[in-house]
Structure 1
Amino acid sequence: MNTKSNVKPTSKELLQRKKQMEKRMAKQMDKFKAKRMEKQPDKRAVIPTLIIHVIVLILTWRDIASRTDDEVRGNKAVWRVASALNTIGSVAYWIFGRKPRNPLT
């Protein structure tokens, strides 16, 4: 390589620099891909979680449908949307959205 700063690099030097840069970029891409693979969720955990969410959602919607408006705190449609978005919405309905049923009626 030329050590003088005012001398233009030769085509051979430019080619070497290009190869070095390509190697560095390839290493960086490999690191990026490895990190990305580490962050992907495990499919063995996603499917059971999805099944649990659907079961809890069905039970929540059945309970909402079986209750009158007076037996639910808030709007029934809002509770349906909240429970459909995530499992926490269903849990919130079971804890906060239900009023106790009067056993005498």
Structure 2
Amino acid sequence: MARKKSWSELSGGKKALVIVLSLVQISLTAAGYRDLAKRPADEVEGPKLAWGVAMLANWVGPIAYFAKGRKGLGLND
């Protein structure tokens, strides 16, 4: 099994990719939490607390929230 590379061993392009993907993930999660906080509970599919916990699951949680967790957007009607 190959050894994982440390940050200093990564090329400049790979470091940039890690940073960009991290920023996208953080932004997606922040947008999900902001939307969840502002959206009334009757416009959310299921408990808001459950969606808040689910959004901690890297990419899957926020994408699932935007795809299935919001009511009245034409997608879940």
Would you say same fold, with TM above 0.5? yes
What is the aligned-residue RMSD (CA, Å)?
Answer: 2.3
Match of residue 50, structure 1, among 22, 29, 32: 22
Q: Which has the higher helix share?
A: 1
Q: Give structure 1 regions of 4+ aligned residues with deviation exceeding 4 angstroms.
A: none
Q: Return 5+ residue gaps in structure 1 as ranges.
A: 1-31
In structure 1, what is the equivalent of residue 44 of structure 2?
A: 72
In structure 2, what is the equivalent of residue 10 of structure 1?
A: none
Tell me the SS of whatever aligns to 1:93. Answer: helix
Q: So what's the TM-score if we normalise by structure 2?
A: 0.72
Aligned residues: 67
Q: Return 5+ residue gaps in structure 2 as ranges.
A: none
Match of residue 61, structure 1, among 30, 33, 39: 33
Change (3 A) 1:37 1:91: closer
Q: So what's the TM-score if we normalise by structure 1?
A: 0.55
Deviation per CA, 1:13-64, whole angstroms, max 9, x where unpaired? Answer: xxxxxxxxxxxxxxxxxxx7xx3157x9843322211110111111111110
Identity of aligned residues (%): 34
RCO greater where, 1 or 2, for CA within 8 Å and sep 6 or more? 2
CA distance in 2, matches of 1:54, 1:92: 15
